[in-house]
Every structure is written in structure tokens, then in C-alpha cells.
Amino acid sequence: MSGNPRSHELASLLAKLVQIPSINPMGRAETPPDLFFEHRLTNFLESWLREQGFHPVRQSVAPLRENLIAIYEPPTPPTRTILFEVHQDTVPVEGMSIPPFGGEIREGRVFGRGACDVKGGMAVMLGTLQRLQKDRLPGARVVLALTVDEEHTFLGVQKLMEQKGGELAKLCGARPDLAIIAEPTDLRIVEAHKGVSRWLLTTKGVPCHSSRPEMGQNAIYRMAKVLAILEKHAAELSAGPGDPVLGPGTLSVGRIQGGISVNTVPDRCAIEIDRRIAPGESPASADKLLRSALEIGLKTLSEIGLGGWPEWLDLPQAWMSCPGLDGPSQKVARDALANALRASGIDPVAEAVPYGTDASTIAEAGIPSVVFGPGDIRLAHTAAESIPIAELGRAEEVLVALARQ
């Protein structure tokens, strides 16, 4: 094979990572359950890190789900402490057109579920620690946190940053001065992104035989009224004022379930709502707007009784929320990474993106954070997910340069 030998070494490591299923179930049942969760990958990562001379520590998050933390201590007093964070989980594999766990290396790329999002970035961070440890390079103390459940509810990073990062600071001997969060950014610096909140909204009905539908109450028909209100609310959000770069907040209904058989009037229907939170908004303000839109819309349809909220509608608090990443507050991390990019011969480009990452939770604890890694986000979660091998070595050079500052 031609090209940077280090890139190919990282590609071989990445192929091994891809071959280990670490699927986040994300509320789905199609995937065989024995492929769910990150525990197989966690076991591999712990063994690999021990082989490199590290002493990783596990942090329990949920059954079969543990964060893994390893620390590089430089041979001289550290210039600062840098947190590298990368998630272990991937999205499900239904509909893939390639072997999801093949880890095939061909055409200058590594293929398989997670190759781009985000095991490519994981291989780079592991490789960076490997080089620092092998060559005993002076510079920063580097804390590597391999977290769980980023793709669904952010449980791993929330556990990592409990007490505003106080527990992590105890573990690594100092509060991190900055953080790099691995995601596929094409080696660009992501300094800002939207936040996200998600709700499970349920409508209730009264079941009966479909031959006498007038004897029951159809939960799906009731949900249809709610969906029309939500579609109007989503259109108003998209047409409203927003951030000059990221645009306005958005709302989308991504899943719907209801009914038990075609000949039974359904007694329940449920939807999942995804709300992207723009700068200037918060999870709390998004929740308030959603409930106000529903109340106004249902009043218009005369669906609000004396109690105000209809008895057939249930909207608990959001089951998942994370704030956005505020660009100006991340200057320390952005400038340090930009210097490392220049030292590696890459012109630094900073940008904002509409998706969410673990970075916002880490930044909320007061640690300047940016997102960086190899790969193209447009290939993440796709049927033929892949990553270019050449970017692996280039990304590692950047992170080594950052650690040497």
C-alpha cells in the first residue's frame, strides 16, 4: 500500500473497531439484541490501552454500558490538561448495503458502520495516545474519555461531567483546560452547533371493534389533529428569525406508532418529536413554545375542556435535552486547535453546524470545547458508511501537535 504508513496503521486499528458491534438500540427492536450496547468494544479498548502501558478506569453508566478513561502523563510537568472525548456507540445497521461489521479496507477507505461516525476519530485519538506514550513526548497531560450513548440520550457524557466536571477533575488530577470532541468534520474546527430536545407525545383513545367505530375513540385520529398543529408550529419556527450562521430552531416528528390491529379502533398513538435549539434559545424556552403552540391549536379546534389540557393528550417533560455549543465561549480550544492545524500544514477553518454533539455538555461545565475529526458527516449513518484512510494520519498529526503545545 502507498501513502502515509501511519495512516494505514490507523486504518488497521479502525477496521478492528468497526468489526466489534457497539449499536445503540435507540428504541428500536429490529436489530438482534445480542448486538446492542458498547460492552464488547469497551472490553477491547481496555485491553488495547493496557497493552500500550495505560491504566484505564471504567465508569459505570448503565447495564452493559461503561465509560472508559485513560490518562497520558508527560515526562515533564504538564503544560496543561487536554480532554479528548469520543463516543463508543453507533446507530443501528438496518438498510446497509455493505457488511456493517466488515471493516473492509479498499479504494483508499475503510468501510462499515461507525467507520465515519465516529470510530475513525476514535482510532485517531487512540493512535495519538499511543505515540505520546511510546515516545514519552513532553507537553500536555491528555485525558481520553471513551463514552457511551451519544447517539440517543447523551448518558455517557452527562455521567462524565457530573458535578460540573468535578469528578473528572479528581480522576485526572486537574480540571481540563480545553476539550476536543471527535466527530467527522473533514479536519475543520466546529466551534458552535445547535442543541436538541426530544419528547414522547401520546394520545389516548377508547378501543372497540372496527365494525362499530362510533363506540370508541380513535387515538390515531386525535394524533392527526396534534400533527397538524405541530406541522404549523414547525413552519413558524423555520420562517422565524434565527442565528445568522445556524439559522432558526427547527422541529420535526420522526417516529409514530399506534394501534394493535387493523380491525380494532386504537386506544393509543405515540410520536417522537425532535427540536433543534438555535443560539438564543434554550431547552426550557423550546418546551414553553411547544406547549403554547399545542394549547392554542387545540383551543382553536375546541379540544380544550374545563381543565385546560385535554385528558387524552400526554406530553411529559423532554426525555432528552442538551444545550447548543456557543462559539465565542470556545476561543481557548479553537485557538489551540487552529495552531496545531497550522503546525501540521493545514489552514484552520472554523464553522458552525446544525447537529448536536457531546461538546455542548462538556462546555456547559466550563471547559472550552470544539469538535474535530476525520471524515465527512454526510457519510455518517449511511448505507455504505466509510472514511478516507489519508485523513486518519493527518488528523493524528494535528492532535499530536496539540498535545505538544
Mean pLDDT of the chain: 94
Q: Are residues 173 and 44 in the same domain?
A: yes
Q: Are residues 44 and 184 in the same domain?
A: yes
Using a CB cutoff of 8 Å and minimum separation of 24, what contacts does 44-48 make?
Answer: 44/16, 44/17, 44/20, 45/88, 45/126, 45/146, 48/126
Grid-cell match 499530536, residue found: 400
Q: Are residues 18 and 152 in the same domain?
A: yes
Element (H, E) at 226: helix 219-239
| CA pair distance 354, 357, nearest whole angstrom | 10
SS3 state of residue 18: helix
Q: Which of 278, 295, 321 is the last residue of a domain?
A: 321
Q: Are residues 228 and 316 in the same domain?
A: yes
Q: What angle do CA 140, 146, 148 make, to 5 degrees?
A: 150
> Using the 8-state DSSP alphabet, how is residue 329 labeled?
G
For residue 3, name the pLDDT band (cuts at 50, 70, 90). low
Q: Are residues 300 and 207 in the same domain?
A: yes
Q: Are residues 145 and 27 in the same domain?
A: yes
- Domain count of the chain? 2
CATH number of the domain where residue 369 is located: 3.40.630.10
Q: Are residues 396 and 338 in the same domain?
A: yes
Q: Are residues 174 and 49 in the same domain?
A: yes
Q: Are residues 200 and 189 in the same domain?
A: no
Residues of the domain holding 38:
5-193+324-404
Grid-cell match 375542556, residue found: 305
Q: What is the pTM of this model?
A: 0.90
Span 153-183, pLDDT tens digits: 899 999 999 988 888 888 888 899 999 999 9
Strand 195-204 vs strand 313-314: parallel, antiparallel, or unpaired? antiparallel
| CA pair distance 119, 374, nearest whole angstrom | 10
Q: Which of 279, 304, 321 is the last residue of a domain?
A: 321
| CA pair distance 157, 108, nearest whole angstrom | 32
DSSP E strand stretches across 134-284: 141-147, 178-182, 189-193, 195-204, 208-209, 250-258, 264-265, 268-277
Q: Are residues 108 and 253 in the same domain?
A: no
Q: Which of 321, 338, 362 is the last residue of a domain?
A: 321
Grid-cell match 475543520, residue found: 188
Q: Are residues 25 and 138 in the same domain?
A: yes
Span 25-63, pLDDT tens digits: 986 656 677 899 999 999 999 999 999 999 999 999 999
Span 372-392, pLDDT tens digits: 999 999 999 999 999 999 999
CATH number of the domain where residue 255 is located: 3.30.70.360
Q: What angle do CA 46, 366, 241 make, to 5 degrees?
A: 115
Q: How far is CA 72 from CA 90, 138, 203, in A?
A: 26, 10, 52
Q: Are residues 213 and 306 in the same domain?
A: yes
